[in-house]
Amino acid sequence: MTTVEVPHSSRSAVLTVSGVIEETSDARSLVFEIPAELKDKFDYKPGQFLTLRIPSDQTGSVARCYSLASSPFTDDAPKVTVKRTVDGYGSNWLCDKLQVGDTIEVLPPSGVFTPKSLDHDFLLFGAGSGITPVISILKSALTQGSGNVVLIYANRDEKSVIFGAELRELAAQHPGRLTVVHWIETVQGLPAVSQLATLAKPFVAYEAFMCGPGPFMDAVHKALAEAGMPRTQVHAEVFNSLAGDPFRDVEVAEVSDEEAADAATVEVELDGETHTLVWPRKQTLVDIMLAKGLDVPYSCQEGECGSCACTVTEGEVQMDNSEILDAEDVANGYILGCQAKPITDRLKIEF
């Protein structure tokens, strides 16, 4: 029995595992019971993820992000799906140790890999365990939206296909709206850019969402560009292993009179409301929003998870670490709030 008694921060919660589903020989889903008092805190959008605090004899704990494979519209409880990785301490511990009735510390849902509207037509790409946020979007779009959904799902072999039965059932329930295309590496080889472009070509007006290993994502990016899909319609989920501890409470440094006098001014649009804030040059956007008690989306504070991604619509910032964003994202104004510090005196930013 693995139990956690109390959370390590004011943001996190201790949740009970209410279900364990063995999806394949190397992937399992964990279903969490959400107490009534935490329902609002753990409301989530399709495509978001949870951050789990996993015990470690060597470091005390490690933090890992796992996408929600459930849909807030079709599933009674949130579910993450974990696939073993070679030498992956977190994934192996979750697959070997956690059982029904165990408890684990979890941060609230986070992430921006989620559609602004479910009424779009969607072209979805998943590879391996990258299917997890994609199937959340797929199920949500089919039940809440009005458009068509095309899924291109790549796996090493047929035994590696996660949610195979569920996808067959969904395709049977929505024959006019859902198309599922399986790509099996042992049969077809690795998907080439030209092959993916051919598959994508009829759907360049759709919104594209992709998740999977780096080489697969690179190939899909190139394929969509070759097919003629505008970059603004392409959304990618990227995870890095978290180096810091997102479960610690953040202490915002005091601002000196000199720093305050040289501070920038920023208008931040968050959840439909606009907030005007003073932004000292040495503090990050997440820092100043937390200091004002705003519910800013963030997780790792290291620029590694993308939870705090937002858009600069006026002004300019510098970022210490922005590797999770590609050059086109940066060119389109995307920034990471936990890494951004102001350059110009006035800025406008949208979450």
Q: What pLDDT, in 10s, does the model give residues 303-313?
A: 888 889 899 99
Please indicate whether residue 332 or residue 190 has the higher confidence score (pLDDT): 190
Mean pLDDT in residue range 35-54: 95
pLDDT at residue 282 tops 70: yes
pLDDT at residue 255 tops 80: no
pLDDT at residue 299 tops 90: no
Give pLDDT, residue 133: 97
Mean pLDDT in residue range 229-251: 79
Q: Tell me: domain 13-109, CATH 3.40.980.10, correct? A: no
Give pLDDT, residue 15: 97
pLDDT at residue 180 tops 80: yes
CATH class of 122-237: alpha beta
Instruction: Name which of 27, 1, 63, 26 is nearest 16 in CA terms.
Output: 1
Give pLDDT, residue 242: 67
Give pLDDT, residue 244: 66
pLDDT-above-70 percentage for the chain: 96
Q: Kindly give, in sequence order, each residue whose CB lies less than 8 Å from that of residue 246, ignoring residues fewer than 6 positions away.
A: 51, 63, 107, 299, 300, 301, 305
Buried b (16+ CB within 10 A) or exposed e, 143-158: eebeebbbbbbbbeee
pLDDT at residue 136 tops 80: yes
Q: Rounded distance, CA 67 to CA 163, Å?
A: 14
Give pLDDT, residue 42: 97
pLDDT at residue 241 tops 80: no
pLDDT band of 5, cuts 50, 70, 90: low
Buried b (16+ CB within 10 A) or exposed e, 6-39: ebbeebbbbbbbeebeebbebbbbbbbebeeebe
pLDDT-above-90 percentage for the chain: 73
Please indicate whether residue 231 or residue 122 has the higher confidence score (pLDDT): 122
Residues of the chain with CATH 2.40.30.10: 13-109
Mean pLDDT in residue range 247-258: 73
Residues of the chain with CATH 3.10.20.30: 257-350
Residues of the chain with CATH 3.40.50.80: 122-237
pLDDT at residue 110 tops 80: yes
| Domain with residues 257-350, CATH architecture | Roll (3.10)
Mean pLDDT in residue range 321-336: 84
Give pLDDT, residue 117: 96
Q: Tell me, rounded to whole angstroms, the distance of Cα 77 from its chain centroid.
A: 18
Please give the mean pLDDT across all residues of the chain: 92
Least confident of 22-36, 146-160, 217-231, 233-247: 233-247
pLDDT at residue 253 tops 70: no
Helix or strand run (H / E) with residue 262: none
